[in-house]
Structure 1
Amino acid sequence: MSVVGDPIAPPAPVPGRKLAGPRFRPGEAAFRWLLFSCLAISIAFLGVLLIYVLVAAWPRLDSRLWTNFPSIRRPERAGAQSAIFGTIWVISFTALFCLPTGIMAAIYLEEYANPDRWYNRLIELNIQNLAAVPSIIYGILGLGLLARQLGLGTTVLTASLTLSLLVLPIVIISAREAIRAVPQSIRQASLALGATRWQTVRRQVLPAAVPGIATGSILALSRAIGEAAPVIMLGAVTYVAFNPEGLGSAYTVLPVQIYGWISQSREEFHHLAAAAIVILLGLLLAMNATAIWLRNHYSKRW
């Protein structure tokens, strides 16, 4: 007779009978190995590509790359200072324009919008469709509307606004997913303690959603920094021997400068293009490291 509270002993095994173990499924094992093989092949191709770029860029990975301006006749003294500063200018104002707008739009759609209203459903449908539009279409839109109709010209401002339109749907979608992932119990507890909806969003929901918002935003900006088609449409020329001086200045960016050097026939320009690719990869890694740091920093607090 067992006493209440004592652990119940497991049933004794039946003599001559083996316990059933996990069943081997050949299809599941084959699918797992297929996934591992695809991952290994992808990493191998990426490693080969990086090694090839580094080997090609090694002769020009020195201070001349970021201290000198481009040169057509003397590739041994050419650099990418104007392209580096132009990229920093364009991506900085792209972040300034698209991130606040995208995050506020996500807050409205998740916390305030009534999903039964037809105009809210229309907004959501358009955001999902705009995320799949090719980037060259945004370049044509920026050229026809911003540069010509509004008279902004082919300037840093036009490129920043066009790239902001390009990545804005991605920022909105990623921010909405991060806000939606915050448990409803946090909202309910805050409202039960007397906080208003805006106080709940500002002090509870947004801090908890910062890791996801930061990751999605940096990934969106990483796409913008590598785009060449829209800025080519907007007049980002390949030879600019000066740094941008403001929003109304002419400019060039690293993808366009890389394209210009690759199109040259001399091998020295190909080494320059590979070195510029390394600089662009470095900027992307710095942005992604910032996103990882923000995610880890705010994840510890929540």
Structure 2
Amino acid sequence: MSVLPTTGVPTTGPQRSITTPHSAGNRLGERIIRRLLRTCAIVSVLTTIGIVAVLLSESLKFFGEVSVFEFLTGAQWTPLFSPPHFGVLPLVCGTMLVTGGAILIAGPIGLGTAIYLSEYAPPVVREIIKPVLEVLAGIPSVVYGVVAVTTVSPIVQRLFGSESIFNALSASIVVGFMILPMIVSLSEDVLRSVPRDLRSAAYALGATKLDVTTRVVVPAALSGIVAAVLLAISRAIGETMAVTLAAGATPNLTLNPLESVQTMTAYIVQVSKGDTPTGSIEYRTIFAVGLTLFCITMSLNIIAQWVLKRMREQYE
């Protein structure tokens, strides 16, 4: 039993909340938004499932004619020539060569830039450099490819004596500058998110600016920095137009960055131009290569999640 607040008259039975048109409208809007968000999530999941299903169905048809062992271990990739060879190792090697070179270029420069912007740069300098990096990230990849062929490759030829204007080193340089804004932006955000209390405590103990940066701030933000680098690696592996123009179209199993190579994405572009008959084994090679690229990227993401989890446990 309860008492009405105005009259003091006792009441019995369950109390009912008063529903106003305004509150009813709010609940209706919340339900609509919730269903829209759920629909977006379902569409995302279904899209991923559809892509994987197409890759698997077409790849199974390809592997019905080509041995999986030959595909994964073969050192020759000439599916468009006679006799055809379907060893994907040259494409994988070319992709890893370009990606590794890009990370070696973008990693130190990006991390150094992020540390400078976070810990040393005045606000005026930070406000200038950040928009410039955003402009660099907005340049189309085909422009990077053209710059690589017309500017970077001739410089590489003069400095290192490369025989071909198309080489893995030129592709690594342009891809490195393509992923540089991603590393700088994400790493700088992570470094700035480190609590000021940690810096103040280190300064109170007599640490210098360099000590605070290298021994306090960077270790505290290391998991985020690793995540930024891994995202940049995934971006470099999936790059298409720049490496298609800069690296060449020679499936070459080599570790020499001065030679012409072909990446997995560049081969997919080559076959997707329309010259290969649909349904042929040559056409299905793009799905087998795409499935391989998908497995590599997924494995990289799994490793990244494991590394980040271990690093968080270590610093917690």
Alpha-carbon shift at residue 148 of structure 1 (Å)? 2.3
Q: Where does residue 212 of structure 1 map in the other structure?
A: 224
Q: Distance in 1 between matches of 2:16 and 2:195?
A: 42
User: Which residue in the other structure is 1:268 paired with?
Assistant: 281
Matches within 5 A, 1:24-39: 25-39=27-41
For 2:15, give the aligned amino acid: K
1:157 aligned to 2:163? no
CA RMSD of aligned residues (A): 2.2
Which segment is superposed worse, 165-174 or 56-65? 56-65
Matched, 1:258 2:250: no
Partner of 1:168: 180
Instruction: Identify the residue that residue 99 of structure 2 maps to in structure 1.
Output: 91
Q: Per-residue displacement from partner, 1:60-94 (whole Å, max 9, x unpaired)?
A: 45122122212223586422221111111111111
TM-score in terms of structure 1 length: 0.87
Deviation track 1:68-127 (CA, whole Å, cap 9, x = no partner) reads: 21222358642222111111111111111111110110000000101134xx43222201
Q: In structure 2, how many angstroms separate the alpha carbons of the residues matched to 1:150 and 1:44?
A: 45
Q: Choose from 73, 77, 83 the match for 2:81.
A: 73
Shift of 1:272: 1.5
Consecutive unaligned residues of structure 2, counting only runs of 5 or more, are 5-9
Name the residue aligned to 2:115: 107
Q: Encode CA deviations 1:123-148: one digit per residue, 9 max, x unaligned.
A: 22201211122111111222222112
Would you say the 8 A contact 1:254–1:280 is kept in 2? yes
Per the TM alignment, residue 13 of structure 1 is displaced from its structure 2 partner at its CA by: 7.1
Distance 1:73 1:18, change over 3 A: same
Equivalenced residue count is 287
Q: Which residue of 2 aligns with 1:291?
A: 304
Change (3 A) 1:229 1:279: same
Percent identity of paired positions between Structure 1 and Structure 2: 25
Larger CA deviation: 43-52 vs 253-262: 253-262
Deviation string, structure 1 residues 147-187 (Cα, Å, up to 9, x no partner): 12453632111111110011101110010111112111111
Answer yes or no: is 1:18 the counterpart of 2:26: no
Match of 2:259, as an amino acid?
S
Tell me what 1:135 maps to.
141
Alpha-carbon distance in structure 1 between the residues aligned to 2:240 and 2:119 = 36
**Structure 1 gap segments, 5+ residues each:** 1-11
SS at match of 1:63: helix
Give the deviation of 1:21 after TM superposition: 9.4
Mapped to 1, the partners of 2:176 and 2:42 lie a distance apart of: 35
Cα displacement string for residues 194-230 of structure 1 (whole angstroms, at most 9, x for unaligned residues): 1112111212211221221122221122111111111
Contact 2:168-2:246 within 8 A present in 1 as well = no
Structure 1 distance, partners of 2:130, 2:46, is: 39
One-letter identity of the residue aligned with 1:245: L
Amino acid across the alignment from 2:32: A
